[in-house]
């Protein structure tokens, strides 16, 4: 290595690296630290600058009284409801909007007609089947009646998935109104058309599981930020709804078991005495108890009752209502005490789900409630249910639908097992976001899905060590973050590209990095809990989250929100060079000797070297030699010593002591290749064997977001440096994270190394064995 002296002022620089990329002057608009205020809405008395609900916060309310009948022979629902709507907004409303989600399945829906053509090079029967079913399926809410409280017809219009009710008189602020809607619809075959609720028919025993959701006409949310959120339901953008109280009477075949949002009001009418006794026992138990056993469910499948029973449920302060019904259901339950509340944790599943479901489902519910309550607020509802049916995974208040099942013979793969636990944690977890912290998912998918995926990761990690988590670890996000085909997290639900990564994985990873690397657990957990509690049973916007996290932590995170949520930049920090700085001792005898030593290390000029045998003119004519042929500017002169003495005398005692500092001054140059500013996590190894770990805050990039240097005062020579040694930051290119630079093997190469050696070893072993067996065949081995 060549040490080149650049200057001999007070500090002399030794450059250990020559890597120099060209400088790009940062422009103002590229400043990653500029404040978020220019993007966030101006705070007002509905939404405060702190991120809390303002002193005039308001939201609407809707209470529902519903009677519904399930017609198993026709796979249809018939319903009647009375909605009481409370206008708590400051605006009079001359019409009301109601959601008819089933209209997504109408032949003329936007969903159906905006699908692009499949690829005809390879077209499968299954696709053709779904296409034809969709073509023939007469889905959609058939509205039979819209009337006021007295039964007089109300003018109304249906626009896609939305129903507008024209009020005879505007509903004044503070007023309320009641009206009735009657409807019927054909339930979707959920095994053939992808849906969030529908039926599954079992050919073998001719029974059906119904998972019923988006089934009744529901009020559109009317909000301070969007007015009526009557953006059409296309497919992806899920729901935003108003809170209210529900009383729902479900009439189903007599031998069905009904699972539902809310608390059962008439157990003595619908449950047997034995089932009620078992529930009493389950109320005292700590592990799930069967209310309907697998054998009883099997027995129940054999015959179909002709009569009907009506199950009455009530739910307070929920934003939606869903239920499931089947004679195939096994039912287990336990009253779980968590963070001071008693919650019925219950699962409903057919024998097809066994033995997996009775082993894991209700346990997964209890676990979710424990962990999520710890990080947010105690679970406020009296019930939490997981149902197995045709839907892969979908959330509703107090109830969710989860798909994974074992094989027909009762065995199951590891994937199925963890797939089930994972999906139950996720869907039960949705009770917190968005069922209680009621964000607008038609607008922003990430608020509930991203936050929920983050909490899901925390819950998975508390289930067992090395839980196979897909979302959460920073490095899992790298391939997505470097992809060129993505949109920022802050993108409307229907326009998101790479949906799962964008709205689930990336925000979950971002929050995990905030917690582990940027804020630390203590600060993060306090602020996150504050956000959850502030917005319980209210409707937060993205800005309310960003603002609360800063308000409760005193950490300015604008750069983080801006980079991670508003751009598609990725993380890639690089060590660009290391420079060693020496203190000038002011002693010419030391300094000039060092300079000479450095000069001696310089290579000889090539011409000089090749001319070495040539007889030079000054050798032939020595009289040509004079003073300058002997003069060396690096020789120490009397004048040098006098000058040094003068300088030393001019220094005070403190300054003279500083000159004797036994420190090495290292300037480490970093470059931000990916665009996202992030903290610099640096592991330093010294030549004396000691190690140091530095966490430099992201603010280090304030003055220049592309290239900065950090001064390290070291007591020993640095041997090596490594950026982000624990892969905390989703740094995309780890090859530039080392000094001295070190090639990092690709995944492919690592795998090839891994498989190459055992094969060779195995072969060698085999050859050796052969050799020992047949030493005489040694000669012919070379041919093989």
Partner 1 sequence: MRRFLKLAGIALVFVVSAPPQAWGHPHHVSVGMADWIEETQSIEMALNVSVIDLEEVLSKRQKRALELDGKSKEIEKVLQKYFLSCFRIERADKVAIVPKWIGYEIEDDAAWIYLEIPFGRPSMKGCKIYHGVLIQEFEEQVNLLHVKRGKQRKTLKFRKRDPWQKLPAWH
Cα(455)–Cα(367) distance, integer angstroms: 12
Q: Write the DSSP string, 309-324.
A: EEEEEEEEEES---EE
Q: Could you tell me the strand order of the sheet in which 11-15 lies?
A: 11-15, 573-583, 664-672, 707-714
Instruction: Determine, following the binding rule CB under 8 A, whether residue 480 of this chain makes contact with partner 1.
Output: yes
Given the complex with partner 1, which of 409 and 654 has the nearer CB atom? Answer: 409
Give bridge partners of residue 714 from the DSSP assignment.
Answer: 664
Q: Which of 393, 397, 543, 674 binds partner 1 (CB under 8 A)?
A: 393
Cα(92)–Cα(276) distance, integer angstroms: 48
Q: Which of 469, 491, 553, 705 binds partner 1 (CB under 8 A)?
A: 469
Given the complex with partner 1, which of 124 and 631 has the nearer CB atom? Answer: 124
Question: Are 497 and 442 a contacting pair, CB within 8 Å?
Answer: no
Provide, for the chain, the percentages of residues in helix, strand and coil under a 3-state DSSP scheme, each rounded to the nearest 5: 35, 25, 40
Instruction: Determine, following the binding rule CB under 8 A, whether residue 204 of this chain makes contact with partner 1.
Output: no
Instruction: Determine, following the binding rule CB under 8 A, whether residue 763 of this chain makes contact with partner 1.
Output: no
Per-residue exposure over 743-759, b if at least 16 CB sit within 10 Å of its own CB, e if not:
eeeeeeeeeeeeeeeee
Contacts to Zn ion by CB under 5 A: 449
Instruction: Determine, following the binding rule CB under 8 A, whether residue 389 of this chain makes contact with partner 1.
Output: no
Instruction: Determine, following the binding rule CB under 8 A, whether residue 391 of this chain makes contact with partner 1.
Output: yes
Residue for token digits 């997290």?
489
Interaction mask 129-158, partner 1, x per CB under 8 A? -x----------------------------
Question: Quick one: what does residue 755 bind among Zn ion, partner 1, none, with the CB cut-off 5 to 8 Å set by partner type?
Answer: partner 1
Q: Could you tell me the strand order of the sheet in which 330-338 lies?
A: 289-292, 330-338, 341-349, 383-388, 399-402, 393-396
Residue 583, classed as helix, strand or coil, is strand
User: Which of 139-147, 407-415, 582-590, 620-628 is the region at the interface with partner 1 (rule: CB under 8 A)?
Assistant: 407-415
Q: Which of 41, 90, 92, 118 binds partner 1 (CB under 8 A)?
A: 118
- Number of helical (H) and strand (E) elements in the chain, helices listed first: 20, 31
Closest CA to 309 of 70, 64, 66: 70
The CB-of-318 to Zn ion minimum distance in angstroms stands at 18
The CB-of-447 to Zn ion minimum distance in angstroms stands at 11
Instruction: Determine, following the binding rule CB under 8 A, whether residue 90 of this chain makes contact with partner 1.
Output: no
The CB-of-677 to partner 1 minimum distance in angstroms stands at 21
Interaction mask 205-234, partner 1, x per CB under 8 A? ------------------------------
Q: Which of 483, 661, 726, 757 binds partner 1 (CB under 8 A)?
A: 483
- Through-space distance between the first and last CA atoms of the chain, rounded to whole angstroms: 48
Given the complex with Zn ion, which of 332 and 449 has the nearer CB atom? Answer: 449
* Phi, psi (degrees; rounded to nearest 5) at 401: -110, 130
Both tokens assigned to 14: 């030794």
User: Which of 30-38, 634-642, 711-719, 748-756 is the region at the interface with partner 1 (rule: CB under 8 A)?
Assistant: 748-756
Instruction: Determine, following the binding rule CB under 8 A, whether residue 122 of this chain makes contact with partner 1.
Output: yes
Per-residue exposure over 1-33, b if at least 16 CB sit within 10 Å of its own CB, e if not:
eeeebeeeeeebbbbeeeeeeeeeeeeeeebbb
User: Which of 202-210, 331-339, 412-420, 559-567 is the region at the interface with partner 1 (rule: CB under 8 A)?
Assistant: 412-420
Instruction: Determine, following the binding rule CB under 8 A, whether residue 671 of this chain makes contact with partner 1.
Output: no
Question: Are 68 and 252 a contacting pair, CB within 8 Å?
Answer: no
Instruction: Determine, following the binding rule CB under 8 A, whether residue 427 of this chain makes contact with partner 1.
Output: yes
Residue 782, classed as helix, strand or coil, is helix
The CB-of-565 to partner 1 minimum distance in angstroms stands at 19
User: Which of 114-122, 156-164, 594-602, 677-685 is the region at the interface with partner 1 (rule: CB under 8 A)?
Assistant: 114-122
Residue 116, classed as helix, strand or coil, is coil
Q: Which of 22, 119, 306, 688 binds partner 1 (CB under 8 A)?
A: 119
Instruction: Determine, following the binding rule CB under 8 A, whether residue 355 of this chain makes contact with partner 1.
Output: no
Given the complex with Zn ion, which of 449 and 558 has the nearer CB atom? Answer: 449
Instruction: Determine, following the binding rule CB under 8 A, whether residue 395 of this chain makes contact with partner 1.
Output: yes
Instruction: Determine, following the binding rule CB under 8 A, whether residue 442 of this chain makes contact with partner 1.
Output: no
Both tokens assigned to 391: 């839907």
Instruction: Determine, following the binding rule CB under 8 A, whether residue 410 of this chain makes contact with partner 1.
Output: no
Instruction: Determine, following the binding rule CB under 8 A, whether residue 752 of this chain makes contact with partner 1.
Output: yes
The CB-of-547 to Zn ion minimum distance in angstroms stands at 24
Question: Are 6 and 580 a contacting pair, CB within 8 Å?
Answer: no
Q: Write the DSSP string, 354-413.
A: TTHHHHHHHHHHHHHHHHHHHHS----SSEEEEEESS-SEEEETTEEEE-----TTS---
Given the complex with Zn ion, which of 238 and 301 has the nearer CB atom? Answer: 238
Report CA torsion sign: 115, 117, 122, 124. Answer: positive
Given the complex with Zn ion, which of 58 and 446 has the nearer CB atom? Answer: 446
Burial of 108 from C-beta contacts in 10 A (0-12 / 13-18 / 19+):
exposed
Q: What angle do CA 48, 96, 140 make, to 5 degrees?
A: 115
The CB-of-450 to Zn ion minimum distance in angstroms stands at 9
Instruction: Determine, following the binding rule CB under 8 A, whether residue 708 of this chain makes contact with partner 1.
Output: no
The CB-of-460 to partner 1 minimum distance in angstroms stands at 11
Given the complex with partner 1, which of 239 and 313 has the nearer CB atom? Answer: 239
Instruction: Determine, following the binding rule CB under 8 A, whether residue 363 of this chain makes contact with partner 1.
Output: no
Given the complex with partner 1, which of 482 and 583 has the nearer CB atom? Answer: 482
* Phi, psi (degrees; rounded to nearest 5) at 39: -105, -30
Cα(277)–Cα(267) distance, integer angstroms: 11
Given the complex with partner 1, which of 309 and 470 has the nearer CB atom? Answer: 470
Report CA torsion sign: 676, 677, 683, 687. Answer: positive
Residue 213, classed as helix, strand or coil, is coil
Q: Which of 482, 490, 580, 648 binds partner 1 (CB under 8 A)?
A: 482
Given the complex with Zn ion, which of 331 and 432 has the nearer CB atom? Answer: 432
User: Which of 12-20, 147-155, 421-429, 686-694 is the region at the interface with partner 1 (rule: CB under 8 A)?
Assistant: 421-429
Question: Quick one: what does residue 423 bind among partner 1, Zn ion, none, with the CB cut-off 5 to 8 Å set by partner type?
Answer: partner 1
Question: Quick one: what does residue 393 bind among partner 1, Zn ion, none, with the CB cut-off 5 to 8 Å set by partner type?
Answer: partner 1
Interaction mask 496-515, partner 1, x per CB under 8 A? --xxxx--x-----------
Instruction: Determine, following the binding rule CB under 8 A, whether residue 447 of this chain makes contact with partner 1.
Output: no
The packing angle between helices 445-463 and 506-513, to 10°, is 60
Residues that bind partner 1 (CB under 8 A): 116-128, 130, 190-194, 196, 238, 390-395, 403-404, 407, 411, 413-415, 418-419, 422-423, 426-427, 430, 449, 468-470, 479-480, 482-485, 498-501, 504, 746-749, 751-752, 754-755
């Amino acid at each position: 290595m060549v040490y080149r002296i650049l200057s001999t002022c007070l500090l002399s620089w030794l450059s250990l690296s020559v890597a120099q990329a060209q400088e790009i002057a940062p422009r103002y608009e590229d400043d990653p630290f500029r404040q978020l205020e220019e993007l966030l809405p101006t705070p007002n008395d509905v939404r405060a600058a702190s991120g809390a609900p303002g002193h005039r916060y308001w939201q609407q309310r809707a209470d529902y009284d519903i009677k519904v009948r399930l017609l198993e022979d026709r796979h249809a629902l018939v319903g009647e409801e009375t909605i009481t709507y409370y206008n708590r907004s400051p605006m009079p409303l001359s019409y009301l909007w109601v959601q008819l989600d089933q209209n997504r399945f109408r032949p003329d829906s936007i969903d159906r007609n905006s699908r692009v053509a499949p690829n005809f090079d390879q077209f499968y029967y299954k696709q053709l089947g779904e296409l034809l079913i969709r073509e023939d399926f007469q889905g959609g809410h058939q509205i039979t009646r819209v009337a006021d409280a007295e039964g007089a017809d109300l003018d109304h219009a249906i626009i896609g998935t939305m129903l507008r009710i024209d009020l005879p008189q505007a509903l004044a602020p503070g007023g309320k109104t009641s009206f009735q809607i009657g409807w019927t619809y054909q339930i979707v075959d959920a095994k053939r058309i992808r849906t969030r609720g529908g039926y599954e028919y079992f050919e073998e025993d001719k029974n059906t599981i119904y998972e019923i959701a988006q089934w009744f006409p529901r009020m559109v949310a009317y909000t301070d930020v969007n007015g009526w959120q009557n953006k059409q339901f296309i497919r992806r953008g899920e729901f935003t709804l108003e809170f209210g109280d529900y009383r729902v009477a479900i009439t189903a075949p007599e031998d069905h078991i009904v699972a539902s949002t809310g608390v059962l009001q008439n157990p003595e009418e619908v449950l047997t005495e034995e089932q009620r006794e078992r529930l009493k026992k389950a109320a005292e138990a700590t592990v799930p108890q069967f209310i309907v056993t697998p054998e009883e469910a099997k027995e129940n499948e054999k015959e179909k009752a002709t009569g009907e029973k009506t199950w009455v449920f009530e739910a307070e302060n929920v934003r939606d209502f869903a239920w499931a019904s089947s004679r195939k259901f096994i039912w287990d339950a336990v009253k779980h005490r968590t963070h001071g509340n008693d919650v019925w944790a219950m699962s409903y599943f057919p024998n097809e789900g066994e033995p997996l479901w009775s082993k894991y489902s209700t346990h997964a519910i209890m676990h979710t409630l424990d962990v999520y309550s710890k990080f947010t607020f105690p679970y406020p509802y009296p019930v939490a249910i997981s149902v197995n049916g045709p839907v892969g995974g979908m959330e509703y208040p107090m109830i969710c639908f989860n798909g994974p099942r074992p094989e027909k013979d009762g065995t199951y793969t590891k994937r199925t097992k963890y797939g089930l636990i994972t999906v139950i944690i996720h869907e039960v977890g949705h009770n917190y976001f968005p069922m209680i912290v009621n964000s607008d998912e038609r607008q922003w998918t990430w608020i509930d899905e991203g936050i929920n995926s983050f909490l899901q990761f925390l819950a998975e990690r508390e289930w067992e060590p090395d839980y196979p988590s897909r979302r959460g670890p920073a490095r899992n996000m790298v391939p997505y973050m470097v992809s060129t085909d993505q949109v920022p997290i802050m993108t409307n639900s229907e326009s998101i590209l790479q949906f799962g990564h964008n709205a689930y994985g990336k925000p979950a990873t971002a929050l995990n990095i905030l917690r582990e690397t940027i804020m630390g657990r203590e600060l993060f957990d306090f602020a996150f809990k504050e956000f959850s509690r502030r917005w319980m049973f209210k409707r937060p916007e993205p800005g309310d989250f960003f603002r609360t996290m800063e308000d409760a932590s005193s950490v300015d995170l604008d750069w983080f929100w801006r980079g991670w949520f508003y751009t598609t930049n990725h993380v890639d920090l690089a060590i660009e060079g290391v420079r060693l700085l020496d203190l000038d001792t002011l002693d010419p005898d030391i300094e000039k000797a060092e300079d000479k030593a450095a000069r001696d290390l310089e290579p000889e000029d090539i011409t000089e070297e090749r001319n070495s045998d040539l007889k030079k003119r000054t050798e032939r004519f020595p009289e040509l030699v004079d003073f300058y042929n002997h003069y060396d500017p690096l020789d120490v002169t009397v004048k040098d010593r006098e000058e040094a003495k003068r300088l030393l005398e001019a220094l005070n005692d403190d300054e003279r002591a500083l000159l004797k500092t036994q420190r090495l001054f290292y300037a480490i140059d970093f470059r931000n290749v990916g665009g996202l500013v992030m903290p610099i996590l640096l592991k330093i190894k010294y030549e004396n064997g000691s190690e140091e770990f530095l966490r430099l805050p992201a603010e280090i990039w304030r003055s220049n977001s592309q290239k900065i240097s950090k001064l390290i005062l070291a007591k020993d020579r640095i041997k090596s440096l490594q950026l982000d040694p624990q892969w905390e930051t989703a740094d995309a290119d780890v090859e530039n994270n080392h000094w001295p630079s070190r090639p990092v093997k690709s995944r492919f190469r690592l795998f090839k190394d891994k498989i190459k050696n055992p094969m060779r070893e195995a072969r060698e072993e085999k050859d050796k064995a052969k050799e020992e067996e047949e030493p005489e065949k040694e000669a012919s081995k070379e041919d093989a």
